[in-house]
Amino acid sequence: MPTPGLDGYAPAWLEPEHEDLAELARGFFSKEVLPHAARHEQQGHPDREHYRAAGELGLLGLSVPEEYGGGGGDFTHEAVLLHEQMAVGEGSLGLAVHSGIVTGYLVAYGNEEQKRRWLPGLCSGELVGAIGMTEPGGGSDLQEIKTRAVRDGDDYLVSGSKTFITNGGLADLLILAVKTDPGQRAAGISLLVCELGDDVPGFRRGRLLDKIGLHSNDTAELFFDDFRVPAANLLESEGSGFLQMMRQLPQERLVIGVGAVAAMQRAVELATAYAKERTAFGKPLIGHQNTRMVLADCATRTRVSRVFLDDCITRHTRGELDVATAAMAKAWLTEGQCEVVDRCLQIFGGYGYTTEYPIARMYADARVQKIYGGTNEIMKELIARAL
């Protein structure tokens, strides 16, 4: 990523514009958003205002064409933004979903009218985006979703529920996976863009879920009961939803991989600094051979992870990232994140277990990376199928 880590490594795709973007993003996250971290954590969601502030700085929709209000860049720009957010420890704004995923669906599958209607608001931060696939009955077997959309004149009537929806507490715009033909599995799935609000008949937000980590980002249940969605909000055609999701999921998995590598890098930096300043048995921790071995392992794992991630990003920007490679990246990078963060936490001793130290939060936040975006077990299924 742009700001070279301990190792001075920088990706092949890095251009001066990425470095400028990294500096802007880092300043925004650390000076504008992080000072509110305690309140965000307490309320369970970021301030809506911070989405608007990010939009004003041009940090939202970096890969959206300029004619729709975006930055006109590509996935490398989104990756830089997400890396910088994670690198400073900012976790309240759900940008991985808002910019990394939702805008991608609209750019790829929206018609001209849909793009003009929603993309400018997502890029300015007036609208907060979310995606709803997972249901209480299951997330891995997407073909079995039960949320139903029945055509009624010029509208669909949507009934069902979604759970674990990132940005679900604040979202104004939801890409919703529904069954338009319950008799079919994959071929019965469609994607509807839902305009949400707090007083919309047939729609209700459930509670914000109480999680072991990611406390400052809103993860919510969403309920629909004959919720009216204009048929004009359908993305492409009925029955194309499953294929649309399968085509977008490699990018979602890369987004998760970017966060994983940034977290590994931060963990190594924090643990190295701590090991240099803390003493035990009359010398700094880093003077003990085991500490040096652990840090050497973690730094190596981080460097190798970055090189693999950058190769995946290069392939993705060329349109050549296949499903199995994206699955490898998601599974291997997130397993690496959990391992590296755990080993780095150990270097902090008891302090590593207190939430005053960022490494403790990083430990709790890391765990979900092996679960969402398709669990790592499902990733391994996808990899194995390609062998």
Ligand X SMILES: Cc1cc2nc3c(=O)[nH]c(=O)nc-3n(C[C@H](O)[C@H](O)[C@H](O)COP(=O)(O)OP(=O)(O)OC[C@H]3O[C@@H](n4cnc5c(N)ncnc54)[C@H](O)[C@@H]3O)c2cc1C
Q: Which of 28, 75, 164, 227 binds ligand X (CB under 6 A)?
A: 164
Q: In the set 63, 76, 190, 219, which binds ligand X (CB under 6 A)?
A: 219
Q: Which of 15, 252, 269, 320 is catalytic?
A: 252
Separation between Cα atoms, residue 243 and residue 241, nearest integer Å? 6
| Residue 139 binds ligand X, judged by CB under 6 A | yes
Rounded Cα gap, residues 175 and 194, in angstroms: 6
Residues 322-361 vs ligand X: string with x where CB under 6 A? ----------------------------------------
CA dist., res. 157 & res. 155, Å (int) = 7
Sole binder of ligand X in the list 22, 123, 128, 165 (CB under 6 A): 165
Q: What is the largest CA-CA distance in the chain?
A: 78
Q: Examine residue 377 and tell whether it contacts ligand X (CB under 6 A).
A: yes
- We find the least distance from the C-beta atom of residue 165 to ligand X, in angstroms, to be 5
Closest distance of CB 375 from ligand X, Å: 3
Site string for ligand X, 171-200 (x = CB under 6 A): ------------------------------
Does the annotation mark 32 as catalytic? no
Helices (H), the chain: 16-27, 37-43, 48-56, 75-87, 95-97, 103-109, 112-124, 241-277, 289-317, 323-347, 358-366, 376-385
**Which amino acid appears at position 85 of this protein?**
Q
Rounded distance between C-alpha atoms, residue 154 and residue 166, angstroms: 29
Size of the site for ligand X (CB under 6 A): 22
Q: Which of 210, 209, 211, 213 is nearest to 360 (CA)?
A: 213
CB 330 within 8 A of CB 379: yes
Q: Under the criterion CB under 6 A, does residue 237 sit at the interface with ligand X? A: no
Identified binder of ligand X from the candidate list 30, 43, 114, 134, rule CB under 6 A:
134
Closest of 254, 217, 251, 258 to residue 107, by C-alpha: 251
Query: How near is the Cβ of 189 to ligand X at its closest, in Å?
Result: 13
Site membership for ligand X, residue 368 (CB under 6 A): yes
Q: Which part of the chain contacts ligand X (CB under 6 A), choosing from 211-219, 229-237, 281-289, 311-319?
A: 211-219
d(CA 23, CA 124): 20
In the complex, the residues that contact ligand X under the rule CB under 6 A are 97, 131-134, 138-140, 164-166, 211, 214, 219, 368, 371-372, 374-375, 377-378, 381
